[in-house]
Each structure stands twice: as structure tokens, then as C-alpha cells.
Amino acid sequence: MIPVLGYEGRKVAVLGLGRSGLATARALEAGGAEALCWDDSVEARERAEGDGFLIHDLHKADAFAGVSCLVVSPGIPHLYPEPNKLIARAWEEGVPVDNDIGLFFRSLGQGDWMEHDTPPRVVAVTGSNGKSTTSALIHHIFEENGRPCQLAGNIGRGVLDIEEPLDGEVIVLELSSYQTDLARALTPDVAVFTNLSPDHLDRHGGMGGYFAAKRRLFAEGGPDRAVIGVDEKEGRYLANQLVEGPEDLRLIRVSSGQKLSGPGWNIFARKGFLSEYRKGKQTASIDLRDMVGLPGAHNHQNACAAYAAARALNLSPRVIEGALRSFKGLPHRSQLVRERNGVRYVNDSKATNVDAAAKALQAFPRIRWIAGGLGKEGGIEALQPHLGSVAKAYLIGFSARDFALQIGDTPYEICETMEVAVAKAAAEAEEGDTVLLAPAAASFDQFPNFEKRGEAFSAEVEKLD
């Protein structure tokens, strides 16, 4: 646990008693604060009270009297589409609003571990797609090379729930826009921006607000090194804002698909090869094509970002390459479930939006595509340019029939359920095909989350004779 420092003997209200909220309350009390806990869910309050936490009704007239800070869980809206009423009340009463990420950075820099011979280093990863894989890959690289490392944030453990860092430890944080948008302190040593595509637009008041939430990780804290994906205009804009000239090596630009040039620090993947250039000279080249855990151009972009973060913390290209080869990928993200009769079955249930699905569809040469679920605004018409490798689509869920009208001339079959889709795709697949689950939709029509959807796919694949 990372005790929250700076609130000794003071009252701090905690709104939202899920995983991060309870971890925050524990960390506050470990640092000497009094945690006043509230959740509008009766069940959540009862669980917290059973764990010994003090329940404090923040709706009461004098609820914020003497409160030094309100700490909010990431799922609670604080601005768009409407501020939560309790957050708006905190504003009115002049009570600062923060989240666990802000408390983490505020406290990490004050802890005894900063007296280690090598103080802990924090790598923070944000972006639209690839955050989890990039974060997990960075963690894997350091662990494979014997460096103590912890993974937390939007993946793994809550940031305040990690172990106190050891000498020389690296802490890798995956941070969503919900987390970066509100944190009052953001001071990573290395900050990574993967890419940007439309997502969570209601929560951020549009694309500009969404990008602004991501940008805060770089603008607020001023990381020692910034790793920026420059395949979209937002990344190029952000990269430009962070440099004082073309030779500024505090910035590492990364790309998948385009060669980057110039006197700065550039890492890119083209035709399956990762290349590193520094001061105009090539310093490393890695063949990514046969790395099972990193299929496709989108994963090559993830590999470039993770490689850049590791290089920023002084690992050599040779040891990074070895770790890339041993990475097996994350569940539900281009995960190879099984190979049967020359057919690969790949679970990319995390591809819940059009951009993520497009990247998955470009990763394999001939695809039996399982798609559908609860479609998002705009549908999937934007995927039509990426369907050239799809032999047939097998459509499931609430939006199956809508999707069928949006995929042009691509052959399809309405299957409704995962069971039927897997069985049909397996029966028709030929040697060399990939049966790919890349839904391009939310899961909530048939499954509680994308993980359960991916597990259902994997279970049906394992049933095949």
C-alpha cells in the first residue's frame, strides 16, 4: 500500500466505494487521515461498513464541514454530461476534488522510498487503443530483465494498493481519460501516448475534451521523457508542443506504418520491422513478424511504444528484443486461443469500437469475422475499407442486423449467439484462415463485460472436436 501523505489528522471524503474507492480509503487511513466514505449504493455502503470503514452521508446539510478534500472514483462524472450533484456541492463549498491518481503522485514523491539509491520510476500510459497491451508489455520487459516492476491503474491493481516500491523499481500505470482528467497531480518520469480515436465522448463533452483529458498527462506534470504516437494529428500536435527544437531528445516519436525522419529520437515499425533512429542514425532493428504475442500493425505500434519507454529508462535493444519475443499477449486482445486443423482462433473481445476492430481486421490475411453486440453511435460503416481480408462475417447480438446493412458486399450470416457463430465459422473455415472475434461493439446486450464475452468465445473454441 502507498499511504496517502499530506492529510494527517484531516478529514477526507471518499465518493464511490468500488475497488479504487476502498483502496483509497485504506491508503488515507494508513497516512493518518480520517476517511469519510459514501456511495449511493446501499450494497456498497454495507460492504464498506462491514470492512470497518466509516460511512458518512454526503447528502446531509453539513456533510462537507471540516472536509479537506473529496476523492472521487473514476466512473463518477464530474463535468459532462452533467456533474455529479455531490461534486457540484464540493465546488460550491470550496472543497478540492481529486482522485486516487492525484493522491498517488502527490504521495509517491514524499515517501521514504525516494531515499533509495535508485528512487522508483513511474511510466504512465494513456491513449485510446493499445494502452493495456503497451502497459503490460513494458511491465513484462522489466520483469524479464530482473528489474522489480509493478503494474497498476486501469489494469491490475489500484494505484494506492501496490506494494511500497523497492530500490530501482519501475511502476507502470495504465491511465484512462477518466483518471487523467481529474487528477490534481500527474508527474510520471516517462509518459506514453499511444493513439487517439473517438471514445467516451459524452463523458468529455466531445472529441476536444477527450483529447484534453489525455493531454493533461503531458501538460500538467512535464515528464522527463515523452513517448508520443504520431500516426494521428492529435499525436503530432502534442509532440510539437513538447519540444524546443528538432533535436530535443526528451521526445520519442513512434509510428506504425510510416518511416520517421529527422535529427530527434524516432522509433517506428514498417513491414514488420521495428527500427530505432537517434540523431539521424539507426541504432537498432528488430524483426517483429514472428512474435506470436504481437500480431498485426496495431501491436507493432504497441511494441514501438513499449520499446521506447524501456529505452528511455536505459534498457538495451538486445534485452528488450528478448522480452518482446517471450510476450504472450493479454487475454481478449489479439489473444491466440487455439490452432486447430490449420485454423487460428483469435480472441480480440476488447475491440469494442470501430478503430480497434479495424486494427484487428488488418492483422490477419484471411478472416472468419465474429462481430456484433450492442452497437455504438455511428455503427460500423467506417470499417468497409478494412473488410478486404474477411471471407465471411458471423454476426451476433442486438446490432447483428444493423451491422449486416453496414458491411457492403461482405458475405455474412446472422448467428445471434456466440455458440452458433463459433460453430458456423469453424465448420466453414479452411486451412490458413483465422476465426477472429473483433466485435466492434459493446458487450452489454449479452454479457456483463468484454472479458465475459471473450471467455465465452474461448470456451466455445475449446469445445470444438
Q: What residues pair up with 225 in beta bridges, in sequence order?
A: 190
Contact in structure between 242 and 229 (CB atoms under 8 Å):
no
CB atoms under 10 Å from CB of 98, counted, come to 18
Please, what sign has the CA dihedral across residues 84, 125, 216, 167? positive
Q: Are 170 and 123 in contact (CB under 8 A)?
A: yes
The answer to whether 99 is annotated as binding is no
Q: Is 127 annotated as a binding residue?
A: yes
E strand or H helix that includes residue 47? helix 42-50
| Rounded (5°) CA angle 82-152-225 | 90
Backbone angles phi, psi at 157, to 5 degrees: -90, 160
Q: Is 279 annotated as a binding residue?
A: no
Bond into 81 cis (ω within 30): yes
Q: Which amino acid, one-letter code, is at 410? A: T
Q: Is 130 annotated as a binding residue?
A: yes
102 is in an annotated binding site: no
CB 159 within 8 A of CB 19: no
Residues 6+ apart with CB under 8 A from 212: 181, 204
Q: Check if the beta carbon of residue 252 is closer than 8 Å to that of residue 225.
A: yes
Does the bond joining 439 to the residue before it have cis omega, within 30 degrees of 0? no
Sort strands 265-270 and 273-278 into parallel, antiparallel or unpaired.
Answer: antiparallel
Annotated binding residue at 128?
yes
> What one-character DSSP code corresponds to residue 435?
E
285 assigned binding-site residue: no
Positions at the binding site for ATP: 127-133
Q: Residues at the annotated binding site?
A: 127-133
